[in-house]
Amino acid sequence: MILVTGGAGFIGANFVLDWLAQSDEPVITLDKLTYAGNPENLQSLQGDARHTLVQGDIGDRDLVAQLLATHQPRAVINFAAESHVDRSIHGPGDFIQTNIVGTFNLLEAVRGYWSGLAATEKAAFRFLHVSTDEVYGSLKKDDPAFTESSHIEPNSPYSASKAASDHLVRAWHHTYGLPVLTTNCSNNYGPYHFPEKLIPLLIVNSLAGKPLPVYGDGQQIRDWLYVKDHCSAIRRVLEAGRLGEIYNVGGWNEKANLDIVHTVCALLDELRPRADGQPYKNQITYVTDRPGHDRRYAIDARKLESELGWKPAETFETGIRKTVLWYLDNPAWVAHVQSGSYRDWVSKQYGSVAHDKVAA
């Protein structure tokens, strides 16, 4: 049995689905079910005795302690986090509460449970904390990629809150001996991605005939990782990672945001052409850059490859095609997540330009 926190969100849900596709080991999913925690992501597991979804907050120490005592998991994988930079700029308080205070309460509940285990189970237990490359800050164009020993220099409320949670996890290992593992991943993309993030927003807006908002000059560079590759990396780190260690997870796919936009547009031109025959790139609209926007992220994932033999299975070209096809094949999921609150958020963040119809 494993306990997965934040398991109804984008990466967490993909992890739970992939885990149960490859293993009969049961999963308890704990998720607060905020706007990004969507039980519909796990709909295919309804009626599956191997999976239980519990609505709750990692900050609720009593609830977490009860789940641990009842189900006796051999591992906790922590995906639970507020994760959107733009939202953290508008409302940092939620990020402090979930990512810092919530992680603290989760660690304390887990520490209490782990301390009471028999020696064999105690030695086998793992707490795996999923984090982000954004804690390392921003790179210049010719800087080497982030390694596990790079300085921690977060530049947004989101990345600062994640950096703080990483430090807590490290401290609970060194102070209390809690058997922890931490992964810092690059930008994920793939199925079930909430359409406030770049790639799903591009797909959704393109098909709706709306502008495709690009921050600044669009030359911000990110390392892109297909979400199912990320899931396989986490499974491998859980299986064989060295206690107390950090493992960077990257896709070896550095791309400028504007290149991503053009790639998605070209795929949609091929797979779902506009009725008027015009290319989707005509919908590109430049918007004011976000405050403190990091210029470049890049992950050096050689430690994970050399120690544990992991490397991504997908190239960006194969992964992005699978992603676009998934959104084209799942219009009901897209429609359901685009609630009134989602539309209000897009209008607030990008202005009316991102919400109004594009003239033919």
| Dist CA 316 CA 255 (whole Å) | 9
**Cα separation values, 78 from 29, 36, 81, 103, 134, Å:** 10, 16, 8, 9, 17
The catalytically annotated residue of 158, 189, 297, 327 is: 158
The yes-or-no answer on residue 192 being catalytic is no
The yes-or-no answer on residue 35 being catalytic is no
Helix (H, G, I), strand (E, B) or coil at 309: coil
14 Cβ neighbours under 8 A, 6+ residues apart: 190, 191, 192, 227, 228, 230, 231
Element (H, E) at 163: helix 157-176
Q: What is the DSSP letter of 98?
A: I
The catalytically annotated residue of 31, 82, 86, 134 is: 134
Are 241 and 130 a contacting pair, CB within 8 Å? no
Cα 2–Cα 58–Cα 247 angle in degrees, nearest 5: 60
Q: Where are the beta strands (DSSP E) in the chain?
A: 2-5, 27-31, 51-55, 75-78, 126-132, 180-185, 187-189, 212-215, 221-226, 246-249, 254-256, 284-287
The catalytically annotated residue of 86, 133, 166, 223 is: 133
Structural tokens at position 33: 């079910």
The yes-or-no answer on residue 356 being catalytic is no
Could you give the residue numbers annotated as active site?
133-134, 158
